[in-house]
Structure 1
Amino acid sequence: MKHVQYSRYHGGSKALEYVEVPIPKPKAGELLLKVEAISNNPVELRIQDGLMKHFLPLRFPFAPGTDVAGEVVSLGTGVKGFRPGDKVVAHIHVLKGGGYAEYAIASSSRVVLRVPEISASEAASIVVAGYTALQSARQVGIKSLAGGCEHLNVQIIGASGGVGTILLQLVKLSGAHVTVTCSDRNIELMRNLKADEVLDYQTQQGATYTSPSGRRYHRVFNCAHFVPLSNFSAQLQPNARVIDLTPTRRSIVVAMVNKVSLRSPHRFENFYMWDNQEDLQTMMELMGAGKVKAVLDTTFPLCKAGDAWDHCLKRRCAGKIILCSSPPISS
């Protein structure tokens, strides 16, 4: 089979190799999947650039890829609830990888059945992005997906990306009033996803996160680069909670200082995703019921994974970048 790998840190897309390797065999508790679609995640590029090399080093050659949708080929011993031919979506551990391939191994505890009406590309798009949106909303107290949060004013910064487009839909299900910030080319998309107010970040109003209706925010989700709390503190309600979905060293330090500070009336915190099969099932059910829809930016063939990475680095995506596996060879 073909898969994509790299043998060193740094180098970005130029370090990726499209090579022939044996089809893996599932061990106990694992499934072998024939991959149909893989969702690209920005963190995969950061890991290749050495994000965790000092405390969680990779074994080279390493094949990236965590969010996959495909068909069950075979089962390892002890696997229950699945059978060959099942259409599924899976989350592979980020340090195990292997999703950028024609066939991939996934732990049965990280796999759920795919709703028949949902395509492989759509299913793959809501794994890590869905986890992040659902879990971050819960972290700041937005737990209902059937109303009940009508009293909340929410701001989503960088709402047109893979996480932001899902988060917007989930927060709207809670009943909250949602103001989003994005580039001018994505304003119509945000309106189609039912944002109540849309700010162009290149305008004065967008740069200061000022609600057109004069609302002050109870919750702020930052899906973009780190934004200092001082940049929008004037727009916040007392006791507002601000959550950074892409933690950096700077945001981690700010969150630590904020936690022990007695002066700030607002809470700044970081989000860290965890794998949860039930959350993946929830996202699949929401998508199957038409309550959440996938937003797909561009699709690339697996052999063009480098182009997908380059496109991701431009930071101009609306929704998710998808890789489609090449026609599989015979097993």
Structure 2
Amino acid sequence: MKAFIVDRYGRNGRRRNGHGAAALRFGEMPDPDLRDNDVLVQIHAAGVNVLDSKIRNGEFKLILPYRLPLILGNDVAGVVVRVGSKVRSFKPGDEVYARPHQDRIGSFAELIAMNESDVAIKPKTLSMEEAASMPLVGLTAWQALIERAHLKKGQKVFIHAGSGGVGTFAIQLAKHVGAFVATTTSTANVEFVKQLGADVVIDYKKENFEDVLHDYDVVLNSLDNDALQKSVRVLKRGGKLISISGPPDPAFAKDIGANAFVGLVMRLLSLRIRRQARSQDIDYSFLFMQANGEQLREISALIDSGAIRPVVDRVFPFESTNDALAYVEKGRAKGKVVIKIG
């Protein structure tokens, strides 16, 4: 099958995408093996995420020690073509979507095999391209706001980068719960995030969020360490600071079964923010989203009911996958970027 492949990590590859980073190689790879509990999916569309560029550049080598060559891609929508002998939830012909398990990524390809527990039927109201934009950002927002923060009606949540992939979904999910939502964005996207449901919108080019927001229950951080440190000032005592951009903490090291050295590295990386949060009686945690077909089914119901809508900035053809990744790395996409494969 045809696929876009990482041959080696980092920004020093011989082939480049024109933006300083090593390009993915377009080539042939063996069709994936089908295990007893797997579904084999013909991929029609794949979402593109900042996570993809971070994996390609080797930023997650300690957390995700992939063997190279590696097919990149963490969002998928397509049609089931075969099922394993123990699969009971799906059949050939089913239209599905998923965020593959972190050990089995590879949606920048024509085929992918995934455990049926990570897969859900595609929302009926969405095209393949729209569906492919949803799994990673949807599960990230769900696991941060619903599973970890236990966000409730009437609570106040601050979501960084409201016009980005996670932000556009998280705003809608928080409003569905009944929360009061604040976010940041650029001048050009202020009205856009208001239409998604944001109650307070801070133009980061004109104001500092830490000067405006106070006494929030939850902050969802997706930006750099500077924004993370400032986010502590926004929260009230007992609040929750959840970061999807790091630094990873000791609890995460334990969750992934990290060895002593990796655990120590994570402890040191997060020491400053954990101390700062603890001094203000704030709970800091790092979230690395996990595949979960059951949660995707909950998300599908919200989408088909109209509570959440997809936000797709651009759709690139399969052969332009490197261009799509470079576009995402610029950080200016409104919502998600998608690759159309089949």
Normalised-by-shorter TM-score class: 0.7 to 0.9
Separation in 2, partners of 1:50, 1:19: 21
- The AA in structure 2 aligned to 1:254 is R
Unmatched tracts of structure 1, length 5 or more:
143-147
* 1:248, distance to aligned residue in structure 2 (A): 2.7
Report the CA distance between 1:187 and its aligned residue: 1.0
Q: Indicate which of 153, 161, 165 corresponds to 1:162.
A: 165
Structure 1 length-normalised TM: 0.87
Letter in 2 for 1:176: A
Q: CA deviation at 1:109?
A: 1.4
Contact preservation (8 Å) 1:67, 1:125: yes
Q: Match for 1:246: what amino acid?
A: S
- Contact in 2 for aligned 1:8/1:15 (Cα 8 Å): no
- Tell me which protein shows more helix as a share of its residues: 2
Q: How does 1:7-156 map to 2 (within 5 A)?
A: 7-11=7-11, 13=17, 14-54=22-62, 56-138=64-146, 139-142=148-151, 149-150=153-154, 152-156=155-159
CA deviation vs aligned residue, 1:213-259 (integer Å, no higher than 9, x gap): xx632222212222356535554333332221211368723343246
CA contact (8 A) 2:219 2:231 kept: no
What residue is the counterpart of 1:145 in the other structure?
Answer: none
Whole-Å Cα distance in 2 between the matches of residues 75 and 303 of structure 1?
28
Where do 1:1-331 residues align within 5 Å? 1-11=1-11, 13=17, 14-54=22-62, 56-138=64-146, 139-142=148-151, 149-150=153-154, 152-204=155-207, 206-211=208-213, 216-227=215-226, 231-248=230-247, 252-258=270-276, 261=278, 263-325=279-341, 327=342
> Which 10-residue stretch deviates more, 176-185 or 243-252?
243-252
CA distance in 2, matches of 1:299, 1:273: 24
Letter in 2 for 1:309: L
Q: Residues 71, 255 of structure 1: CA spacing in aligned structure 2 closer, same or farther, 3 A cutoff?
A: same
Inter-partner Cα distance in structure 2 for 1:99 and 1:159: 26
Q: Structure 1 22/232 Cα, relative in aligned 2: closer, same or farther at 3 Å?
A: closer
Decide which moves more: 132-141 or 267-276: 267-276
- Tell me the CA shift for residue 27 of structure 1: 2.5
Residues 221 and 228, structure 2, Cα contact 8 Å, conserved in 1: no
CA distance in structure 1 between the partners assigned to 2:136 and 2:38 by the alignment? 20
Amino acid in the other structure paired with 2:150: G
Identity %: 30
CA distance in 2, matches of 1:61, 1:232: 38
How many residues are aligned here? 314
Give the secondary-structure state (helix, strand or coil) at the position aligned to 1:101: coil
Q: Which runs of 5+ in 2 are unaligned?
A: 249-267
Query: Per-residue displacement from partner, 1:50-96 (whole Å, max 9, x unpaired)?
Result: 12334643222110112100011111211112111111112212332
Give the structure-2-normalised TM-score: 0.85
CA drift at 1:278? 1.2
